[in-house]
Structure 1
Amino acid sequence: MTLIDDLPVGWMSFAIPGAPAMSDEYATYVMYPGDRRPEVPALARDWRWLRDGPVFEESTMVVGDVEPTTELSIEALTALVPDGLPADLVSFAAEPVLRSRLGSGTSCYFDLGDRLEEVPGGRLLHLISDQQWCLHWSVFLGDDGTSAVVAGDYPAGFELDDEDREVYGDLPVVRVRCADDVTEFFWRWWNDNLVARAHWHDEPLTARQREYVAGYGRPVALED
């Protein structure tokens, strides 16, 4: 039994403009259950779609408002994980320009943390933090070679001080399995933020973006 075996499948994000709303109450993040999110096309299995995408000027995914503990790089990844890194994470990190194609409506940034976090059946490699540490995304590295992207409240892989431990406790809290691989994860992230940018700039969505939004169902609230 591994960490991801019993996790619910879903997508944690801000409320997607134009998609069914949870309620009139504002929440920074909501969760779209697995059957209420857009399907991933075959196109998403290489980085061409991202490489050819528009640039997000001043994206915090390139230079964040918070200084990361460990910046994302091939050197940092291989220092943390000498063997067994997912191939798509390696290829993503090898092209820093790809990060400029990723926006973040909540000022998220890349941070590999201090170390790997041991969990049942494998380890967690921290990948992205919300600016205010409301949410964290990590790559699950299974002892059997499997991998997935998960999200939760706990800053897995960071050395926490006493004040942090009062907030987060001692055990990793992971809420949901977001994606079966890094490519799927970034495809969803990319599309969410393209839709959000169009909404904020009062620009019409493309046909593909309208189809993407139509793939969303009603989200659910995050439980305490």
Structure 2
Amino acid sequence: MTEFGTPDAEISRPGHCPWDIRWEAAWTDMLPDAHRHAYGYFHRTLCGIEKPDMTGSQFGMWGGYPDECPDCKVAALAIDARWPEERRDGFRVSVPAVPRPRPEDQPGYVRPADELGRPDIRLPRTPARSTTRVLATRPPAHAHPEDGFRRIGDGPAAVRLPALWAGYGIEPYRPYDGQGRAFAWFRTYPLDTIPPLDEESFVGDFAWFGDIGDPLDHRTAVTDPIEAALAKDGLALPADFTALITRANLHRCLDREGGGAWTDVSGPLSSPADPADRMVLFFRDQQSCVMWYLYLHHDGQSAVVCSDRDFTRERAAGYGPDGEIFWTAPSVESFAYRFLVEARLSSAVYDKERAGDLDPELLAYLAHYVPGPGRP
């Protein structure tokens, strides 16, 4: 198909692509071996399997693997055979679009004082009646006496972990200083440098999110076996974890804002920090440079941790400098809130939105980094 006048090209016509690198792998929660199939169109694989949530994977192409679906391969070869030989080489055409004029390029343009992306941005005051989950002041230091570390569990059996937040840069307001650890494009920040949250307001119901929807049968089919396995060890999944994974409107909400990170649930796994504890993988970045896990201490306490090790594949990995686990958030709901707020802020900065149009939650979060009247 030849396209004319698109935002990226005046004329665009795709060329021939070999069958084994043309198709995206199928991606659905309702098929355990979805990657074996090539995604076709309208929620269907090339071999005809249809699932309502099926799409093409953002994280891998299909074709050329030993376990690929043979029926998908037959269909892919049949489609490839329709390409005339004389159009397989040199058929592609791409004429870039002529740059369109922008308001900021016009003479006399004055950049709005509250345009996101300005280092000297002026934030409006947070409305007096607005109640956000971003605290105006940081809790007393004695609430967490071990600076840079957090504990999961009580007493001598507690697990002591280094603590950090792995997130977006939110530049120019929270630039990455290049110091310390980074997980690909997820930079790490000490907890005392990120906006403090009212952790007691996160009670597992995601009230700040809005309508979370009903449980999805194909998602409870994922969490039920994990719940059963944990029950044998006297443990249970927290309500906020189950809601994030199974509720219709929460399911994959992090994926939609995550810049390529995606929901991937697996477990329970034995913790390399304490074999009596359990971990459940639930989120990873697109290249598996960082994974987020629910950490379940054997006394019933839990938290969100992250690591650059995939413990679903390296189950024998020891705990040490080469495979550290980092405490990240006290609950799944708190983690989801901060992750979504930062993702939406990053998008708003990229799109040069106006600070006055921000949701009060985002405005209060950004005000932590911007001195002036907008700071809570």
TM-score range, shorter chain: 0.7 to 0.9
Could you tell me which amino acid in structure 1 is paired with residue 206 of structure 2? W
Does residue 239 of structure 2 align to residue 80 of structure 1? no
**Distance in 2 (alpha carbons) for counterparts of 1:94 and 1:107:** 20
For residue 197 of structure 1, what is the aligned residue in structure 2? 347
Give the match's secondary structure for 2:346: helix
1:61-119 residue CA offsets vs partner (Å, 9 max, x unmatched): xxxxxxxxxxx922212202323111211222331211354333430111113652333
Does residue 276 of structure 2 align to residue 132 of structure 1? no
- Alpha-carbon distance change, 188 to 2 in structure 1, aligned in 2, over 3 angstroms: closer
- Amino-acid identity (%): 24
- Alpha-carbon distance change, 147 to 216 in structure 1, aligned in 2, over 3 angstroms: farther
Q: Kindly name which structure, 1 or 2, has the bigger radius of gyration based on alpha carbons.
A: 2
Give the match's secondary structure for 1:111: strand
TM-score by length of 1: 0.72
Could you tell me which amino acid in structure 1 is paired with residue 317 of structure 2? D
- Alpha-carbon distance change, 143 to 115 in structure 1, aligned in 2, over 3 angstroms: closer
Could you tell me which amino acid in structure 2 is paired with residue 198 of structure 1? A
Taking CA–CA contacts closer than 8 Å with sequence separation of 6 or more, which of the two structures ends up with the larger relative contact order?
1
Q: Higher helix proportion, which one?
A: 1
For residue 101 of structure 2, what is the aligned residue in structure 1? none
Match of 1:108 among 255, 261, 277: 261
CA RMSD of aligned residues (A): 3.1
Contact 2:211 / 2:249 at 8 angstroms: preserved in 1? no
Alpha-carbon shift at residue 18 of structure 1 (Å) = 4.1
**Distance in 2 (alpha carbons) for counterparts of 1:98 and 1:90:** 10
Does residue 309 of structure 2 align to residue 154 of structure 1? yes
Contact 1:18 / 1:213 at 8 angstroms: preserved in 2? no
Alpha-carbon shift at residue 201 of structure 1 (Å) = 1.9
For residue 193 of structure 2, what is the aligned residue in structure 1? 36
Does residue 251 of structure 2 align to residue 94 of structure 1? no
Could you tell me which amino acid in structure 1 is paired with residue 169 of structure 2? A
Could you tell me which amino acid in structure 1 is paired with residue 335 of structure 2? F
- Alpha-carbon distance change, 216 to 186 in structure 1, aligned in 2, over 3 angstroms: farther
Alpha-carbon shift at residue 2 of structure 1 (Å) = 6.4
- Alpha-carbon distance change, 101 to 159 in structure 1, aligned in 2, over 3 angstroms: closer
Count of residue correspondences:
191
| Unpaired runs of at least 5, structure 1 | 54-71, 218-224
Contact 1:126 / 1:136 at 8 angstroms: preserved in 2? yes
Could you tell me which amino acid in structure 1 is paired with residue 290 of structure 2? L
Greater shift, 25-34 or 128-137, is seen at: 25-34
Could you tell me which amino acid in structure 2 is paired with residue 129 of structure 1? R
